[in-house]
Amino acid sequence: MAGDLLDNRGRGDVRWSFPPIHPEGRKFGLIAVAASLFFLILLDWEIVGWPLLILSLGVFGFFRDPERVVPQDDRTILSPADGRVSQIAEVKPPKELSMDDGSGENGLSPDTVTRVSIFISVFDVHINRTPIAGTIQRVIYIPGSFADASLDKASEENERQHILVERMDGVKIGFTQIAGLVARRIVPFVKPGDIVGAGQRIGLIRFGSRVDVYLPSGTGSKVLLGQRVVAGETALAEVGEAALLEGVTQ
């Protein structure tokens, strides 16, 4: 559900609050707290109990779900994940997103497009959001291995989930949630046929991972290698814009 309306003229009311914990993570945090109290109170094993208590705080932090201010602009393709841009490459989209799946709905074009890969560390927010508003056309889970998510081969070998979203004007964006060395489960919040708003939460990946975004033909990245991006807020691209951008580290 939409929240407060803010704009770039200073209108709106900004209030800070502690980010809530997503329900998916509360049980893990409570289990860690219970285990730490068991060792601290019942067994008096402080050498185990205190580290577990600190770990429980880390678990709650991992599943934090902060609010985001989502730009309302049909030209903008938003980042679906928090993290660091680890790769920008010209590739063909996965066959699961481009092939005929028998539903009567066309997938992505099989032509070469720009793929932006975002690496999510264990310290980043792990709630993923849709890059555009539209209808969820495909949600395809692929079992696989758990290699380092920063490697290029992770796009084809790791456990992953492909999602295809189509806007009302026919523009389609495909993106892939990829499990990594530590991540062991991809949790979807959406299914085919769901209508989503730009920046809406669509799922999470537990404990470190990566998200690949396949931009439409003729659209280039507006972010740079190594840049930090924020899910639902950072503009990855503008539809139809493909200008070269360069940056320097400093």
When pLDDT is cut at 50, 70 and 90, the band that residue 212 belongs to is very high
Cα distance between residue 136 and residue 165, in whole Å: 5
Q: What is the pLDDT of residues 118-138, one digit of tens each?
A: 999 888 999 999 999 999 999
Does the pLDDT of residue 61 top 90, yes or no? no
3-state helix, strand, coil in the chain (%, to 5): 20, 30, 55
Q: How far apart are CA 218 and CA 229, in angstroms?
A: 22
What sign results for the dihedral spanned by CA atoms 157, 179, 80, 220? negative
Give this prediction's pTM. 0.87
Percent of the chain with pLDDT over 70: 92
Measured CA angle at 142 (ends 182, 180), to 5 deg: 15
Instruction: Specify whether 145 is catalytic.
Output: no
Confidence of residue 158 (pLDDT cuts 50, 70, 90): confident
The pLDDT, as a whole number, for residue 27 is: 83
Using alpha carbons only, what angle is made at residue 204 by residues 195 and 155, rounded to the nearest 5 degrees? 95
Q: How confident is the model at residue 249, as a pLDDT?
A: 85
Q: Where residue 205 falls among pLDDT bands split at 50, 70, 90?
A: confident
Average pLDDT, the chain: 88
Q: How far apart are CA 241 and CA 107, in angstroms?
A: 21
The one catalytic residue in 98, 209, 217, 221 is 209
Q: Would you place residue 201 in the very low, low, confident or very high pLDDT band (cuts 50, 70, 90)?
A: very high
Please give the average per-residue pLDDT across 224-249, as a whole number: 93
pLDDT of residue 93 exceeding 70, the answer is: yes
Domain 76-238 has CATH 2.60.40: no
pLDDT cut 90: percent of the chain above it: 50
pLDDT digit string, tens, across residues 25-44:
788 888 889 999 888 888 88
pLDDT of res. 59 = 81
For the ranges 88-92, 181-185, 228-232, the lowest mean pLDDT is seen at 181-185
Q: Please tell me the predicted confidence (pLDDT) of residue 106.
A: 84
The encoded tokens of residue 194 equal 């769901």
Q: Please compute the mean of the pLDDT values over residues 53-72 and round it to a whole number.
A: 88
Distance between CA atoms of residues 82 and 74, nearest Å: 21
**pLDDT at residue 153 is higher than 90:** no
Segment 56-60 shows an average pLDDT of 84
Query: What pLDDT score was predicted for residue 214?
Result: 97
